[in-house]
Amino acid sequence: MKFIVSSSALLKQLSAINGVVTTNPVVPILENFLFEIKDSLLTITASDLQTSMMTEIAVEAKEDGNIAVPARILIETLKNLPEQPVTFSIDHDTYAVEISSDNGRYRLAGENATDFPKIPTVSNATTVDMSTEVLSSAVSNTIFATSSDELRPAMTGVYINLSATNTTFVATDGHRLVRYRRVDIASGDATSLIIPRKALNLLKSTLPSENVPVTVEFNQSNAYFKFNNIKMICRLIDERFPDYENVIPTENPNRMNIDRQELLSSLRRIAIYANKTTHQVRLKLTGSELMISAEDLDFSNEANERLSCDHEGEDIEIGFNAKFLVEMLNNLSCKEVSLRFSAPNRAGLILPAEQDENEDILMLVMPVMLNNYV
């Protein structure tokens, strides 16, 4: 088997799916890319058993065939080659792969393609179409709030609930929660699924910057994404997601509107002086003034700043983990945010003061108990 391909075009396709390949996979063959040629079209597959990605590229080939090629060594070789046509020659008896370029020849040991795990297909699927812009926004706004606690697998992914009127994306780690709703995505089949964080991270890094359509298909066990010439299939998390709606407080008499960038900058400065274990900052709302303070008694560090805001409701003092607040505010792009509180021991809400007509973002963060409430 022999084929000719542009070195830079091949590297571009391999780099798009290389994130799936792990260094110590369960099955050694997964350290390889699967190359399959049919009618001068090369399909490349990378998998870690949970998630698989495929891409296609046109090549010059006289015959069909397949081979598993070591991923790391191939990518390193192509990275260091100038742009040129390269010829791959595969010996099917020994699975040896020889790459010929203007610079020289490189031999590497391939493996039998039949040992590569079969990629699952999605049958009896529900299909939803969306744009890369919408999908990228939904992933970016939720993925940071997923949990890394493997003992609570449902929380290690993003929960997606499709209905006839909207689609809701939810992520939580027990300390904070993000609910991102789109009214421009809907499905006649009301259904829900949980997509693992790793798959979404891969998706996020592979989505093109230009706005192109994405086809999403899923059934009980797998989700399938297709855009441009890339396909990704991932196994869903088969767990029950927490009843998140019950956690969101509905009565929040204390409301504050404030410039997002000013609040974010202030929190970043104050957080430097917070305790390194709790990252606790104190928000004290008095009239139209917000005082943000932090102290680290172990090192006698303390800081406070005053900001002006629009506030309605009673004065309140409440503590939060500064890292959570910073990350949440950083993920929003609005000019002003609205913070809503009910009591110092109840969750606080962060919402954009003005929302896009197609999206509805709500962020919830649990308070940290302040010393004077003990």
| Tens of pLDDT, residues 112-151 | 999 999 998 888 889 999 999 999 999 999 999 999 999 9
Stretch 196-217: mean pLDDT, rounded?
94
CA distance 144 to 259: 22
Q: Is residue 36 part of a domain?
A: yes
Place of tokens 């809400």: 349
Asked if residue 48 lies in contact with residue 20, where contact means CB atoms within 8 angstroms, the answer is yes
Q: Is residue 20 part of a domain?
A: yes
pLDDT at 372: 54
pLDDT over 70, % of the chain: 99
Q: Does residue 369 surpass a pLDDT of 90? A: no
Stretch 208-228: mean pLDDT, rounded?
94
My answer on whether 139 and 170 are in the same domain is yes
Helix, strand, coil content of the chain in percent (nearest 5): 25, 40, 35
Q: Is residue 210 part of a domain?
A: yes
Residue type, position 350, single letter: I
Conformation bin of residue 49: beta by default, left when phi > 0, alpha when psi is -120 to 50 = left
CA distance 23 to 20: 10
Asked if residue 50 lies in contact with residue 117, where contact means CB atoms within 8 angstroms, the answer is no
My answer on whether 271 and 345 are in the same domain is yes
| Tens of pLDDT, residues 321-363 | 999 999 999 999 999 999 999 999 999 999 999 988 899 999 9
Structure tokens at 73: 């060594």
Q: Is residue 120 part of a domain?
A: no
Under 8 Å CB-to-CB from 5, ≥6 apart: which residues? 42, 57, 59, 60, 85, 86, 88
Beta-strand relationship, 348-352 and 336-341: antiparallel
SS3 category, 251: coil
Q: Which of 214, 245, 276 is the last residue of a domain?
A: 245
pLDDT at 48: 95
Stretch 61-72: mean pLDDT, rounded?
96
Stretch 214-223: mean pLDDT, rounded?
94
My answer on whether 265 and 239 are in the same domain is no
My answer on whether 104 and 144 are in the same domain is no
* Cβ neighbours, 10 Å, residue 96: 14
Q: What is the pTM of this model?
A: 0.90
Look up the domain containing 173 and give its range: 126-245
Q: Quote the mean pLDDT of the chain.
A: 94
Q: Is residue 121 part of a domain?
A: no
Strand ranges, E, within 238-335: 254-259, 280-286, 289-296, 301-308, 310-312, 316-321
- CA-wise closest residue to 171 among 235, 237, 104: 237
Helical spans, DSSP H, in 70-213 = 71-79, 132-142, 197-206
My answer on whether 13 and 56 are in the same domain is yes
My answer on whether 187 and 138 are in the same domain is yes
My answer on whether 25 and 103 are in the same domain is yes
Q: Does residue 374 surpass a pLDDT of 70? A: no
CA distance 283 to 287: 13
Grade residue 373 by pLDDT with cuts at 50, 70 and 90: very low
Grade residue 47 by pLDDT with cuts at 50, 70 and 90: very high
Q: Is residue 87 part of a domain?
A: yes
Q: Which of 215, 245, 275 is the last residue of a domain?
A: 245
**With the C-alpha atoms ordered 286, 289, 292, 295, is the resulting torsion angle positive or negative?**
negative
Of the listed ranges 93-102, 183-192, 250-259, the least confidently predicted one is 183-192
Stretch 153-165: mean pLDDT, rounded?
95
Beta-strand relationship, 32-38 and 348-352: unpaired
My answer on whether 89 and 45 are in the same domain is yes
Grade residue 186 by pLDDT with cuts at 50, 70 and 90: confident
Question: What CATH number is attached to the domain comprising 228?
Answer: 3.10.150.10
My answer on whether 254 and 203 are in the same domain is no
Q: Which of 65, 88, 115 is the last residue of a domain?
A: 115
CA distance 273 to 345: 23
My answer on whether 105 and 180 are in the same domain is no
pLDDT at 370: 76
In the chain, the number of structural domains is: 3
My answer on whether 211 and 267 are in the same domain is no
Q: Is residue 269 part of a domain?
A: yes
Q: Is residue 321 part of a domain?
A: yes
pLDDT at 371: 67
My answer on whether 339 and 269 are in the same domain is yes
